């Protein structure tokens, strides 16, 4: 029997055959294992060679063991040039000396600098140029248990370049934004100065023309001249107001207020205003209203009137013969909601389709010849467009040259029931002899003081005057006044500074009502006046009606009772409440508020359909009492469909929140103050306390 040495085969079993085959004839299992290892090695090598990132393997001493094709591309070396060399030659000279120290410290202490962490480093190419790399390092052991490291590197040069370019672009954009904001601030300042400088002489023109028109001994020709000056003055004021309105639009400060109003009354009033101009040109005015249009709606009646008057006046301006037709109807929009559709058609000069796109842009008109013939700023339609968009609508024009134009716009204004109230009794004019209030007029311009003395004197007030803030303060400390009308831009001491000084005085003078009286009428300017302690604002040129309303609002009441609420909040407008009280009287408002509180307490507790009906019924009274947030919440309930359950839930939650706030205001402030009046035996009211 043949024997096998351990070097040539396995030990024999009982049969004399070796237990393991000899080495020169390995079993199939070992062959398969070797094949698998070879395939895995080739697969690994293929992956490494085709990787887009550089992959370099080094041993524990930093000697390069593997260098893939991407590494060749990044560093400019062939693999044969770098294998068995220390990797530090691929590093800048300043880093090379530290590399061996890193490896030694890691072997001795385990302290990591880069291994397993990753960071951005700088590499040295064959041509001695530098390359920025994103490096991550993994540690592993080979089959002999020897420590090895694999570094994976990505060239970030291009990425860093793009990042720098992006940073530079961001800095340029930031600088452009700063410059744009600076330019916008400069524009706002220019508008403020221009507004004040134009309104100051307009105040004198308007005031003295008004006073002159009230004198008795004027010939027909003189009155005609006065009317012509009034017309020119009104045109100039319209231009100034257009510019200011547009500045509000651009600043995002154009807000709408929602309150119930009669749509048909507003439309007829607008027609009445333009009718004289149309009659002078022999134009016919036609007005039609679709049966589906509700009379009473909720919206901003002042801004709607502004849009209608602008379009109607344009129709009159650009029509020499024929008819102007004004039509109002309901229209169902693409979103399924019903909107009001207003259209104004004329038989005027028309405009070509090529020029129509310019009409709603700022400072733009059809062409220069029209501008010379008809005048204007070119802002009217741009403002109309923004107002219509704020009303959740759109505006368009349809026109042909010499065949007239039709401008139409839509607006979302939900219908409401007509307010149920008795017409307020007419208040007879107060007897000037009984009106003893004394008013201090502060203005550095003599003519303005003269006009205000005449206006206030005509209405029975006693007037004192001062030409500066310092003089006003001195007079207030030595004489009794009930109200101050304060100009803003004055020498020595301006109106804002004077107001702050007055509010800091130790005596009761500090509480005197102060009304700003100035040509500074931009929203941010008015806010400055109010923040300084002023109570109200009247813009120049002064209009008698607005002046008298403001004076009456802030003078002490001749009666000893006052049920006004001198506060505002995000959900309550005390000014609207005060107007409602003045219109209906205390007794009626008390009954209305009591009934409204009862309705409000029972609301929003039933089915969606019932909740919508309750919301609809609450809108009118909520608006009249000043609960504007509640009006908005009720409107949202009315337009939310059952198909959008999530939206319906959110809307109802918001409605219940403002419902709670409104109930609290009614129960703790409005009704207690209204009920502070008790009925005397003679039927008069007596106030028990404030």
3-state secondary structure of 668: helix
Q: Which of 5-9, 34-38, 56-60, 372-376 has the lowest mean pLDDT?
A: 5-9
Q: Output the average pLDDT for the chain.
A: 78
pLDDT grade, residue 372 (50/70/90)? very low
Q: Would the pLDDT of 412 be above 80? A: yes
356 belongs to a structural domain: yes
Give the tens place of pLDDT for each residue, 54-81: 999 998 888 999 999 999 999 999 999 9
Q: Which pLDDT tens digit goes with each residue over 194-216? A: 666 777 777 777 778 777 877 77
On whether both 406 and 488 belong to a single domain, the answer is: no
Per-residue model confidence (pLDDT) at position 286: 92
Domain boundary among 103, 131, 155: 155
User: Per the domain annotation, does 66 fall within a domain?
Assistant: yes
Q: What number of other Cβ atoms are within 10 A of residue 15's Cβ?
A: 7
Q: Answer yes or no: is pLDDT of 331 > 70.
A: yes
Judge if 535 and 492 occupy the same domain: yes
DSSP class of 669: I
Q: Name the domain boundary from 124, 155, 186.
A: 155
CATH of the domain at 601: 1.20.120
DSSP reduced 3-state for 11: coil
pLDDT band at 85 (very low <50, low <70, confident <90, very high): very high
pLDDT higher than 50, residue 294: yes
| Distances in whole angstroms, Cα of residue 566 to Cα of each of 358, 546, 563 | 47, 20, 9
Answer yes or no: do 88 and 105 share one domain: yes
Same domain, 278 and 341: yes
Q: What percent of the chain has pLDDT over 70?
A: 78
In this structure, the answer to whether residues 243 and 283 fall within a common structural domain is no
Cis peptide before 541 (omega within 30 of 0): yes
Residue 256 lies in a domain: no
What tokens were used for 104? 């030694």
DSSP-assigned beta bridge partners for residue 163: none
Residues 6+ apart with CB under 8 A from 67: 56, 57, 77, 79, 82, 83
> Would you say residue 610 lies in a domain?
yes
One domain for residues 610 and 481: no
Same domain, residue pair 441 and 489: yes
For residue 551, count other CB atoms closer than 10 A to its CB: 22
The structure tokens listed for 87 are 């990797």
Q: pLDDT tens across 142-151, in order?
A: 878 888 889 9
612 in any annotated domain: yes
| Same domain as 394, residue 267 | yes
More confident residue, 305 or 242: 305
Whether residues 294 and 377 fall in one domain: yes
How many alpha carbons fall within 13 Å on the CB side of residue 589? 26
pLDDT category of residue 93 using cuts at 50, 70 and 90: confident
Distance CA 452, CA 361 (A): 39
In a domain, 613, yes or no: yes
What pLDDT is attached to residue 390? Answer: 86
* CATH code for the domain in which residue 197 is found: 1.10.287.130
Model confidence pLDDT, tens digit, residues 576-618: 787 777 667 777 788 888 889 888 988 888 888 888 888 888 8
3-state secondary structure of 277: helix
514-542: average pLDDT: 82
Domain range holding 587?
A: 568-687
Mean local confidence (pLDDT), 155-181 = 86
Pair 118, 128: CB distance under 8 Å: no
Which of 342 and 491 is assigned the larger pLDDT?
Answer: 342
What are the structure tokens assigned to 23, written together? Answer: 């080495």
The whole-angstrom separation of Cα 663 and Cα 601 is 7
Asked if pLDDT for residue 245 goes beyond 60, the answer is yes
Domain membership flag for residue 579 = yes
State residue 137 phi and psi, 5-degree precision: -125, 135
Strand segments, DSSP code E, in 35-166 are: 54-59, 64-67, 119-124, 130-141, 147-155
- The answer on pLDDT for 374 being more than 50 is no
Instruction: For residue 72, report the phi and psi dihedrals to the nearest 5 degrees.
Output: -60, -40
Q: Which of 554, 583, 613 is the last residue of a domain?
A: 554
Q: Which residues, in sequence order, are bridge partners of residue 154?
A: 134
Count of the separate structural domains present in the chain: 6
Do 258 and 297 touch, CB atoms closer than 8 A?
no
> Which of these ranges, 216-225, 469-478, 629-638, has the smallest mean pLDDT?
216-225
Which of 207-216, 455-464, 481-490 has the highest average model confidence (pLDDT)?
481-490
At residue 217, does pLDDT exceed 80?
Answer: no
Do residues 39 and 63 both lie within one domain? no
Q: Go through 511-523 and write b for each residue having 16 or more CB atoms within 10 A of its CB, e for each that does not.
A: ebbbbbbbbbbbe
CATH code of the domain containing 366: 3.30.565.10
Task: Compute CA distances 192 → 195, 198, 204, 468, whole Å.
Answer: 5, 10, 19, 21
**pLDDT computed for residue 361 by the predictor:** 60
Q: Would you place residue 563 in the very low, low, confident or very high pLDDT band (cuts 50, 70, 90)?
A: low
pLDDT at 29: 72
What's residue 455's pLDDT? 85
Query: Token match 């085959």: residue?
Result: 21
Torsion of CA 351, 357, 362, 368, to 10 degrees: -40
CA 256 to chain centre: 12
- Does some domain include residue 470? yes
pLDDT of residue 640: 77
Q: What is the pLDDT of residue 277?
A: 84
Which is nearest to 374 in space by CA: 434, 413, 319, 416?
319
Q: Which helix (H) or strand (E) holds 229?
A: helix 220-250
Q: Above 90 in pLDDT, residue 515? A: yes
* Per-residue pLDDT at 367: 46
- The domain that holds 477 is classified in CATH as 3.40.50.2300
Band (247; pLDDT cuts 50, 70, 90) = low
Strands 130-141, 119-124: parallel, antiparallel or unpaired by DSSP?
Answer: antiparallel
Beta bridge partners of 135: 119, 153
- Is residue 527 located within the same domain as residue 606? no
Same domain, 542 and 681: no
Per-residue tokens: 632? 């908005």
For 403-459, the DSSP string reads S-EEEEEEE---B-PPP--PPPPPPPPPPGGG---EEEEE-S-HHHHHHHHHHHHHT
Cα dihedral sign for 172, 177, 182, 183?
positive
Residue 431: is its pLDDT beyond 60?
Answer: no
Q: Are 500 and 178 in contact (CB under 8 A)?
A: no
The beta strands (E) that lie in 548-651 are given as 568-569, 572-573
* CATH label of the domain that carries residue 79: 3.30.450.20
User: First-to-last CA distance in the chain?
Assistant: 130
**Mean pLDDT, residues 621-626:** 85
* Range name among 207-211, 456-460, 632-636 with the lowest pLDDT average: 207-211
Query: Cα–Cα distance between 666 and 677 in angstroms, integer?
Result: 16
Instruction: Flag the least confident range among 311-325, 414-428, 449-463, 507-521.
Output: 414-428
> Per-residue pLDDT for 410 more than 90?
yes
CA distance 642 to 557: 50
pLDDT in tens, 18-27: 444 455 566 7
In sequence order, the 6+-apart residues with CB closer than 8 A to the CB of 333 are: 339, 410
- Taking residues 114-135, report their average pLDDT: 85
Confidence at residue 351, expressed as pLDDT on a 0 to 100 scale: 83
What is the structure's pLDDT at 248? 65
């Amino acid at each position: 029997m043949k024997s096998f040495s351990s070097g040539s085969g396995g030990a024999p079993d009982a049969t004399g055959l070796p237990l393991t085959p000899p080495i020169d004839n390995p079993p199939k299992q070992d062959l398969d294992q070797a094949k698998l290892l070879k395939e895995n090695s080739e697969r690994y090598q293929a992956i490494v060679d085709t990787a887009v990132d550089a992959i370099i393997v080094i041993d524990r001493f930093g000697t390069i063991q593997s260098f893939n094709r991407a590494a060749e591309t990044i560093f400019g070396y062939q693999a044969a040039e770098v294998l068995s060399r220390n990797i530090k030659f691929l590093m800048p000279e300043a880093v090379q000396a530290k590399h061996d120290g890193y490896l030694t410290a890691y072997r001795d202490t385990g302290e990591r600098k880069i291994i397993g962490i990753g960071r951005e480093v700088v590499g040295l190419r064959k041509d001695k140029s530098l390359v920025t790399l994103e490096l991550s390092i993994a540690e592993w052991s080979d089959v002999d248990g020897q420590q090895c490291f694999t570094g994976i590197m990505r060239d970030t040069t291009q990425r860093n370049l793009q990042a720098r370019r992006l940073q530079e672009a961001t800095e340029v954009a930031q600088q452009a934004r700063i410059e744009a904001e600076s330019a916008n601030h400069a524009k706002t300042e220019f508008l403020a100065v221009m507004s004040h400088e134009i309104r100051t002489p307009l105040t004198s023109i308007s005031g003295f023309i008004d006073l002159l028109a009230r004198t008795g001994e004027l010939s027909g020709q003189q009155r005609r001249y006065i009317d012509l000056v009034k017309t020119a003055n009104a045109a100039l004021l319209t231009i100034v107001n257009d510019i200011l309105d547009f500045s509000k639009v651009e600043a995002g400060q154009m807000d709408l207020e929602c309150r119930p109003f009669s749509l048909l009354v507003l439309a007829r009033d607008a027609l009445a205003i333009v009718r004289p101009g149309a009659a002078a040109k022999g134009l016919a005015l036609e007005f039609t209203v679709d049966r589906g249009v509700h009379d009473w709606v909720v919206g901003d009646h002042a801004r709607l009137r502004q849009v209608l008057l602008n379009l109607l006046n344009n129709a009159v301006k650009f029509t020499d013969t024929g008819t102007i037709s004004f039509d109002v109807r309901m229209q169902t929009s693409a979103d399924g909601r019903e909107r009001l559709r207003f259209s104004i058609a004329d038989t005027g000069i028309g405009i070509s389709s090529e020029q129509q796109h310019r009409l709603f842009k700022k400072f733009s008109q059809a062409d220069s010849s029209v501008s010379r013939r008809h005048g204007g700023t070119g802002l009217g339609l741009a403002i109309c467009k923004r107002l219509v968009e704020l009303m959740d609508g759109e505006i368009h024009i349809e026109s042909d040259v010499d065949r007239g134009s039709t401008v139409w716009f839509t607006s979302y204004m939900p219908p409401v029931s007509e307010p149920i109230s008795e017409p307020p009794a007419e208040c007879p004019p107060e007897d000037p002899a009984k009106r003893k209030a004394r008013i201090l007029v502060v203005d550095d311009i003599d003519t303005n003081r003269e006009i205000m003395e005449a206006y206030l004197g005509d209405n029975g007030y006693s007037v004192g005057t001062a030409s500066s803030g310092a003089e006003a303060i001195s007079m207030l400390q030595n004489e009794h006044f009930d109200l101050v009308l304060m100009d803003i831009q004055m020498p020595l001491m301006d109106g804002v500074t004077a107001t702050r000084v007055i509010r800091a005085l130790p005596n009761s003078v500090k509480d005197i009502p102060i009304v700003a009286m100035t040509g500074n009428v931009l929203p941010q300017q008015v806010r400055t006046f109010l923040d300084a302690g002023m109570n109200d604002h009247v813009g120049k040129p002064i209009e008698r009606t607005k002046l008298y309303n403001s004076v009456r609002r802030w003078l002490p009441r001749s009666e000893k009772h006052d049920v006004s609420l001198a506060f505002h909040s995000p959900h309550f407008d005390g000014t609207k409440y005060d107007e409602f009280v003045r219109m209906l009287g205390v007794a009626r408002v008390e009954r209305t508020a009591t009934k409204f509180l009862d309705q409000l307490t029972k609301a929003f507790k039933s089915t969606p359909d019932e909740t919508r009906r309750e919301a609809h019924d609450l809108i009118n009274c909520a608006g009249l009492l000043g609960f504007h947030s509640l009006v908005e919440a009720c409107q949202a309930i009315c337009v939310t469909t059952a198909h959008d359950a999530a939206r319906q839930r959110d809307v109802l939650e918001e409605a219940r929140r403002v419902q709670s706030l409104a109930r609290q205001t009614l129960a703790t402030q409005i009704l207690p103050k209204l009920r502070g009046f008790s009925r005397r035996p003679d039927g008069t009211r007596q106030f028990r306390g404030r």
